[in-house]
A and B are shown apart, each in its own frame.
Chain A
Amino acid sequence: MNLYLPIAEMSVNVFVLFGMGLGVGFLSGMFGVGGGFLMTPLLIFYNIPPAVAVATEANQIVASSFSGALAHFRRGTVDIKLGVMLLIGGITGSAAGVAIFSSLREAGQLDLIISILYVVFLGTIGSLMIVESLNAMRKARLQPQAATIRKANRGWITSLPFKVRFHRSKLYISVIPVLVLGVVVGLLASIMGVGGGFIMVPAMIYILRVPTNVVIGTSLFQIMFVTMFTTIAQSATNQTVDIVLALILMVGGVIGAQFGAQVGQKLRGEQLRALLGLIVLAVCLRLGWDLVNRPDELFTLGFAGGH
């Protein structure tokens, strides 16, 4: 069944898009990740203009993160104060990102930058996941009981000024790394159309040393508000949020996530991470190949902005 997307201005197959939402939702439920970093490239592969894919994906993430954040909020596993600090950084980063997005689009380099960022991030994260999970699997074989808790030194982080106490997380740390992390995630949300959980969760655990029980809830809390802000800012500045496309993906996504979560509980953590790492690397390679391979059509028609 074909449906005309009012903003992307193209006719698409609803079942294909719904299936994509379902599939990525399944993976995100299974692995406990947002899925934006898989969905945006898939939309681009489906010929949705990258500008629309990125902005619309931010809108979809509002739905999935709201659903998740609500559950965590009920369980009380959200550090609101830390979340708000991250959010201040996040909104700053997102506002800057939307402005960068507009100027890149006008210069005709938006698609390229989106692809390069994806290749860099997906390549790094995919490789790290595979290495880390292989190590964990090897360790688990040697000493079945040993949990891999890294007592990393907080080092330079503790020496920074402007310390604030976060009661829920039992932390007394500088706001600088918190704000910087928020800015980075906000930039990623607006330029790449991702929630940024894949950066924020490890950074909160390993750099800020936030207790793991509040990490997911707090990051979802921040992602939810940052993607809300990004959706509104993209709509107001670039008119690239396609609400019809977003709705198809949201519905597919939330349904898929339920099934994914059930399957995820039956699989072991290391295997899951290795599998996700492979998927991430596959998407990275595909995007990378498109960058270096000589395109069939060297010319493109562009948006002639400023009029």
Chain B
Amino acid sequence: MRSLMAFFFVITAFWSQSAFSQEIQIGLSNDTVAISSSFDGTDLIVFGTIEGADAQRLIDRAYEVAVVLIGPLEPVVVRRKERRFGVWVNGKSMRFENIPASYSVATSKALDEIADQKETSVLQIGLQNLQMAPLVEDADSVDARTFRESLKRIKTDKALFVEKIGGVEFISPSLFKARVPLPASVPIGEHRARAFLFSEGKMVSAKSVSFQVRKIGFEQFTYDLAHSNGLLYGIIAVLVAIATGWLANVIFQKD
């Protein structure tokens, strides 16, 4: 019986390796991240399995995983403060198109141990591989580079860009779990979770799943109304203020 099992293992392993059929599958702890009034950031948990993989290679831990969460793409203007007449004012600015509003990456090992630079660069895994070119003629100038680095630094300081080495944890040889933080200021909209499976420094499988970050209940109602019908929103804001002022007048009236 035992030998039969082993035989089967070898056969499947041989078959899978020869057919390059090892595949990564992922599932998210939640399809929707809800921002309510008490929202103060959360962790998104990405579960995944490696299917159809060589059993021996699984046992040898020959697979590495990187999980990337990418927020909605948006244009960003980066401004630099300059001293003019003794006052620090916004001077030169550069506009960047298609910058992910948030970008988090969790990996099972340091990026350079998972794959070679060329591979991670093409796949845009890791902050240093995130492609962000400003809309200027010479996108490779020293200035453009400074602005790009500042954009990354500020996003990182605000916890919108996160790199978490060791954030992917193997529960069993073929089952992994990644815990990726989403900050309190996580942008609303459609986000994507991408998982990459690496073997011997090469990407062998990838999966992408989308999830929504949205405000719920009162927050959603307020935000939507403010942006879809600002006039009505303003009128409501004024009515709330009048009601508060009137209540104060009634409660605290002395005579």
B is a partner of A = yes
Are B40 and A4 in contact, with the CB atoms below 8 A? yes
Q: Does B209 contact A (CB under 8 A)?
A: no
Query: What's the Cα separation between A145 and B90 when bound, in Å?
Result: 54
Query: What's the Cα separation between A115 and B36 when bound, in Å?
Result: 32
Interface centre among B95, B234, B241, B242 (most CB of A within 10 A): B241
Given A299-B81, A300-B78, CB of A243 within 8 Å of CB of B231: no
Are B154 and A299 in contact, with the CB atoms below 8 A? yes
Query: What's the Cα separation between A165 and B252 when bound, in Å?
Result: 36
Are A295 and B235 in contact, with the CB atoms below 8 A? no
Chain A: CB-nearest residue to B236 = A243
Q: Does A267 contact B (CB under 8 A)?
A: no
User: Which residue from A66, A111, A232, A241 sits with its C-beta under 8 Å from B242?
Assistant: A66
Given A66-B246, A299-B154, A302-B76, CB of A7 within 8 Å of CB of B238: no
Given A7-B223, A301-B151, CB of A63 within 8 Å of CB of B241: yes
Are B185 and A302 in contact, with the CB atoms below 8 A? no
Q: Does B198 contact A (CB under 8 A)?
A: no
Size of the B side of the interface (Cβ < 8 Å), in residues, is: 58
Q: Does A64 contact B (CB under 8 A)?
A: yes
User: Which residue from A231, A251, A295 sits with its C-beta under 8 Å from B238?
Assistant: A231
Our count of residue pairs bridging A and B at CB distance below 8 angstroms stands at: 177
Are A2 and B38 in contact, with the CB atoms below 8 A? yes
Q: Does A228 contact B (CB under 8 A)?
A: yes
Are B150 and A299 in contact, with the CB atoms below 8 A? yes
Given A228-B238, A246-B240, A301-B77, CB of A294 within 8 Å of CB of B88: yes
Given A112-B89, A112-B90, A243-B222, CB of A70 within 8 Å of CB of B77: no
Interface residues in A43-86 by Cβ distance below 8 A to B read 59-60, 62-67, 70-71
Given A3-B37, A9-B185, A231-B237, CB of A300 within 8 Å of CB of B81: yes
Residues from chain A with Cβ under 8 Å of B154 in the complex: 297, 299-301
Chain B: CB-nearest residue to A25 = B248
Rounded to whole Å, the gap between the CB of A109 and the closest CB of chain B is: 6
Interface residues in B138-186 by Cβ distance below 8 A to A read 147, 150-151, 153-155, 157, 184-185
Q: Does A149 contact B (CB under 8 A)?
A: no
Chain A: CB-nearest residue to B41 = A11
Interface residues in A169-192 by Cβ distance below 8 A to B read none
Residues from chain A with Cβ under 8 Å of B215 in the complex: 6
Rounded to whole Å, the gap between the CB of B181 and the closest CB of chain A is: 14
Are A307 and B79 in contact, with the CB atoms below 8 A? no
Are A239 and B219 in contact, with the CB atoms below 8 A? no
Q: Does A95 contact B (CB under 8 A)?
A: no
Residues from chain B with Cβ under 8 Å of A247 in the complex: 240, 244
Residues from chain A with Cβ under 8 Å of B95 in the complex: 304
Interface centre among A3, A71, A236 (most CB of B within 10 A): A236
Residues from chain A with Cβ under 8 Å of B233 in the complex: 235-236, 239, 241, 243
Are A236 and B40 in contact, with the CB atoms below 8 A? no
Given A7-B222, A235-B233, A239-B230, CB of A302 within 8 Å of CB of B78: yes
Are B87 and A67 in contact, with the CB atoms below 8 A? no
A-B contact pairs, 8 of them (CB 8 A): A3-B38, A63-B244, A66-B242, A232-B235, A234-B234, A294-B88, A302-B78, A304-B95
Chain B residues in the interface with A (C-beta under 8 A): 35-41, 74-81, 83, 86-90, 93, 95, 147, 150-151, 153-155, 157, 184-185, 215, 218-219, 222-223, 226-227, 230-231, 233-238, 240-242, 244-249, 252-253
